């Protein structure tokens, strides 16, 4: 059964191949295109050998194309620890899982981790701690890890959204009962520090973030009534349209008919994949959902990427592990070819 993955589980690697990650049973699995932009894919491969893991995986990717994977593993009775692996090429085996510790030194699993990679290729791992605050762990440039840093916070919900802005600095977002929390990196190699929170009504588990300019990251989230909003510094939260379904939207910044656009995708209430697009940072121009593909079961994950030829690719992964891909056709707008089961 496919479990939760935090971050972009569909990535384009350094050599141009698309790769996907999922958690099934008690391990992480990956597979990749046989050739960049091709229609055939290699078989599923288990990450890290026989290491047993808890459900849940964080994925982050640097500008070097390397993927950083973080998950929890059982250590001893009623206790767990975080492990990290680097995947240099999605069609080859990643590094073995390496233990990186626990935000409270020891104890049970405390929340789904998040990971982002800065401009120097250092992974930044974030996870809720036992007191429902947030801790961070930063990879050293020449190997190893710094000490855990307490980013503070209280009552933080489990889902964290980590992203690297166009500046190369890492940003972290979370939610609590009062709204959206923000931590922004001010110095290369250092953990992000708290910034003014955004007091807004937000449904936990619906937050996603996308760098939309050199200055800004845009946050997308749903309120408790299911209305999707966009926010970035300098604007008030802007209601967009009713969310197509539960959870966060998948996001991709891309070019459509020569325009810089932001593409959203989500499994809709009908079970199909719904798409919406607008000019980047011009959400007030309006968005509307257009559905595509077959009806898919509850719990199906949706992801977006661009392939080696610059075509938009949408992917779905069902709870049973069925992977489907739809690629952009050589036509104006967002015209997708038929969905294919891989």
pLDDT at 49 over 70: yes
Q: Coil, strand or helix: which one is 336?
A: strand
Asked whether residue 2 carries a pLDDT value surpassing 80, the answer given is: no
Q: Is residue 26 within 8 Å of 53, Cβ to Cβ?
A: yes
How confident is the model at residue 141, as a pLDDT?
85
Dihedral, 195, 200, 203, 208 alpha carbons, nearest 10: -50
Sequence ranges of the domains in the chain = 1-199, 215-342
CATH topology of domain 1-199: Neuraminidase (2.120.10)
Q: Which residues touch 77 (CB under 8 Å, ≥6 apart)?
A: none
Query: How far lies 67's CA from each of 13, 19, 40, in Å?
Result: 8, 10, 21
Mean pLDDT in residue range 202-227: 97
Ranges 21-25, 212-216, 231-235, 243-247: which has the least confidence = 21-25
Q: Which residues of 97-108 are buried (b: 16+ CB within 10 A; e: fewer)?
A: beebbbbeeeee
Q: Strands 5-7 and 57-61: what pairing? A: parallel
What confidence score (pLDDT) does residue 189 get? 87
In this prediction, residue 50 has a pLDDT band, given cuts at 50, 70 and 90, of confident
Asked if the model's pLDDT at residue 206 lies above 50, the reply is yes
Decide whether 1-199 matches 215-342 in CATH topology. Answer: yes
Which residues is 315 bridged to in the sheet?
A: 303, 325
pLDDT (average), residues 74-102: 95
At 90 the pLDDT is: 93
Give pLDDT tens digits for 251-307: 999 999 999 999 999 999 999 999 999 999 999 999 999 999 999 999 999 999 999
Classify domain 215-342 by CATH number. 2.120.10.70
Give the pair of three-digit tokens for residue 306.
């661009």
How is 136-192 classified by DSSP, letter by letter? Answer: EEEB-TTSSB---EEEE-SS--S-EEEEE-TTS-EEEEEEETTEEEEEE--STTSPP
Task: With beta carbons less than 8 A apart as the criterion, state whether 275 and 265 touch.
Answer: yes
CA distance 279 to 131: 40
Does the structure show a pLDDT above 90 at 188? no
Task: Give yes or no for residue 3 having a pLDDT over 80.
Answer: no
- pTM metric for this prediction: 0.96
Give residue 48's pLDDT: 86
Sorted by sequence, the CB contacts under 8 Å of residue 128 that are 6+ apart come out as: 103, 110, 111, 134, 135, 156, 158, 160
Q: What is the pLDDT of residue 300?
A: 96
- The token duo for 238 is 């802007």
Q: Which residues of 5-22 are buried (b: 16+ CB within 10 A; e: fewer)?
A: bbbbbbbbbbbebbbbbb
From residue 308, alpha-carbon distances to 16, 145, 205, 280, 291 in Å are 5, 33, 31, 22, 25
Q: What is the mean pLDDT of residues 93-120?
A: 96
Among left, alpha and beta (phi > 0; psi -120 to 50; other), residue 33 is: beta
pLDDT score recorded for residue 143: 84
Q: What is the mean pLDDT of residues 192-203?
A: 97
């Amino acid at each position: 059964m496919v479990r939760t993955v935090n971050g972009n589980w569909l990535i384009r690697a350094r050599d141009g191949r698309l790769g996907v990650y999922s958690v099934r049973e008690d391990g992480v699995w990956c597979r990749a295109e046989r050739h960049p932009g091709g229609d055939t894919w290699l078989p599923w491969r288990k990450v890290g050998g026989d290491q047993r893991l808890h459900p849940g995986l964080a994925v982050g990717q640097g500008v070097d194309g390397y993927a950083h994977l973080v998950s929890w593993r059982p250590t001893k009775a009623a206790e767990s620890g975080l492990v990290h692996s680097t995947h240099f090429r999605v069609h080859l085996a990643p590094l073995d899982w390496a233990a990186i510790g626990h935000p409270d030194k020891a104890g049970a699993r405390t929340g789904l981790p998040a990971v982002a990679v800065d401009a120097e290729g250092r992974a930044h791992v974030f996870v809720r701690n036992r007191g429902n605050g947030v801790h961070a762990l930063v990879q050293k440039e020449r190997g190893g890890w710094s000490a855990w840093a307490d980013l503070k916070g209280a009552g933080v919900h489990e889902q964290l959204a980590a992203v690297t802005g166009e500046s190369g600095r890492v940003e972290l977002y979370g939610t609590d009962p009062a709204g959206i929390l923000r931590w922004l990196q001010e110095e290369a190699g250092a953990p992000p520090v708290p910034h003014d929170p955004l007091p807004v009504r937000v449904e936990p588990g619906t937050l996603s973030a996308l760098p939309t300019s050199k200055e800004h990251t845009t946050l997308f989230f749903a309120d408790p009534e299911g209305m999707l909003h966009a926010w970035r510094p300098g604007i008030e939260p802007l209601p967009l349209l009713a969310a197509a379904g539960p959870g966060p939207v998948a996001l991709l910044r891309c070019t459509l008919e020569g325009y810089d656009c932001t593409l959203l995708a989500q499994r809709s209430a009908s079970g199909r994949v719904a798409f919406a697009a607008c000019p980047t940072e011009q959400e007030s121009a309006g968005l509307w959902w257009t559905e595509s593909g077959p009806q898919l079961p509850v719990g199906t994950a949706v992801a977006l990427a661009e392939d080696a030829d610059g075509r938009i690719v949408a992917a779905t992964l069902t709870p049973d592990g069925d992977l489907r891909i739809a690629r952009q056709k050589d036509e104006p707008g967002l015209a997708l070819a038929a969905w294919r089961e891989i």
